[in-house]
Structure 1
């Protein structure tokens, strides 16, 4: 079957599936990427709140782990997202 088979058969809401596919498309070979929430929202035509809920859904279900990144001056930067490949675990 296809790459996203376990994602499709999961109980995740459609917002979480869309965000996972977006992140998967932008991740490197290790499943890492760091787009800003505003960028995800704009490109998927979703609200920032919807993206945040989707990310929380993905974290809770184990499809995603996020880590805060910091700038040199101590300010927050975008999160680093680590994806669990949906059909490999």
Structure 2
């Protein structure tokens, strides 16, 4: 659980801590995962907007990057989240 030490010690809002732990739990060996905002919101029982704010908090803190993924037909797919720290 040492990877949460920086999260516990941070001044991040609780929403950001919760979303970070959710993403960390679902990430692969490269610390990447790609759940949709709706999936995160539903499983954490938060609003989509609260999840979006939490992701922005994590990006500003340098703990997360997000990248839009695209389908072969050019349509948008879910975001790819890469956790730092």
Please show how residues 1-89 of structure 1 align to structure 2 within 5 Å.
Answer: 2-85=2-85
Q: Whose helix proportion is higher, 1 or 2?
A: 2
- In the alignment of these two chains, the number of paired residues is 85
Deviations 1:46-77 (A, max 9, x none): 00000000000000100000000001111110
The structure in which a higher percent of residues are strand is 2
TM-score normalized by the length of structure 1: 0.92
TM-score if structure 2 supplies the norm length? 0.96
Which consecutive unaligned segments of at least 5 residues does structure 1 have? none
Q: Secondary structure at the match of 1:49?
A: helix
Shift of 1:5: 1.0
